[in-house]
Structure 1
Amino acid sequence: MPLQMRLTAVTLDCADPEALAAFYQQATGLELHPASDGDFAGLTREDGFFLGFQRVDDYRAPSWPGQTMPQQAHFDFHVDDLDEAEDVLLGLGATRPEYQPDADRWRVLIDPAGHPFCLTTR
């Protein structure tokens, strides 16, 4: 029988945890965790899932699409409308890299700390 595990948290390295938490809070509507401080910030979902952001000295953002600094991990978010979601996220501080492998099916954006993430309607 396989080990039964339930994912309860994901934490991203960054230079400014509070700023990155604010970006994802505006983008997702998750609640700011009360234990957030200058070196660590987190967001929680009603089912207990936790999205954390931790300060790393000399943080270097991943590169997209190059691998000079590998992305190591990225989020995929389901949205109803790619264009609308992209516009909102760009307004919140995300950026859109020139390279888009299949922009009709999904979009790659970069969060304010440099982490790539994808939007998809699937």
Structure 2
Amino acid sequence: MTLVTGVVVLDCAEPEKLAAFYKELLEAEETDASANRIEIMGAEGTRMAFRRDVNATPPSWPRPENSLQVHLEFRVDDLDAVERMVIGLGGRALETKDAGGPFEERGYADPAGHSFTLFRVMPTAPKQH
């Protein structure tokens, strides 16, 4: 049987910059690189690659003009801390919500405009014996 593994590939004008953003966010290491493609693998096994496309147009989500081309979801334990990291790395918020309290998910765009969502993972209580 042939082994098949998957890699999410994002097209972008500057793969070096986008790879640096996701390497920091995912605590990843570069696993392969060429002049037009960089691949990384995160500490939890998430694999992504960034392919040079000088004509890449970022999606316009949530607006319908250019639709959602790809959407990444990351599970986190501290939304506020990871949001600060995303913004500090050059990402931006896509969805703003009422500041009345904590939310379970938030939408962002990476520096090249690809959207992603951070989901807060609820801690599980230890089993009672």
Shorter-chain TM-score range: 0.7 to 0.9
1:68 CA displacement: 1.1
Which portions of structure 1, spanning 4 or more consecutive aligned residues, are displaced by more than 4 angstroms?
45-49
RMSD of Structure 2 on Structure 1 (CA): 2.4
Aligned-partner Cα distance in 2 for 1:76–1:70: 17
- The corresponding residue for 1:26 is 24
Say if 2:116 is the partner of 1:117.
yes
Match of 2:9 in 1: 11
Q: Structure 2 unaligned runs (5+)?
A: 122-129
Give matches, 1:62-81, under 5 Å: 62-81=59-78
C-alpha separation in 2, matches of 1:85 and 1:48: 19
- The separation in 2 between residues aligned to 1:47 and 1:108, in whole angstroms, is 21
Query: Structure 1 stretches of 5 or more lacking a match?
Result: none
**CA radius of gyration, larger in:** 2
Residue 67 of structure 1: how far off its partner (Å): 1.8
How far 1:8 sits from its partner (Å)? 2.4
Q: Cα 1:55–1:112, aligned 2, differ >3 Å: closer, same or farther?
A: same
Question: Is the Cα–Cα contact under 8 Å of residues 17 and 38 in structure 1 kept in the other structure?
Answer: no
Aligned mates of 1:47, 1:99 — CA distance in 2: 28
Code of the aligned partner of 2:7: A
Letter of the 1:22 partner, please give it.
A
Cα gap change, 1:106 to 1:60, in 2 (>3 Å): same
Sequence identity of aligned pairs in percent? Answer: 36
Matched residue count? 116
Alpha-carbon shift at residue 7 of structure 1 (Å) = 4.5
Going from structure 1 to structure 2, the CA distance change for 1:47 and 1:19 (only over 3 Å counts) comes to same
Q: TM-score, normalised by structure 1?
A: 0.82
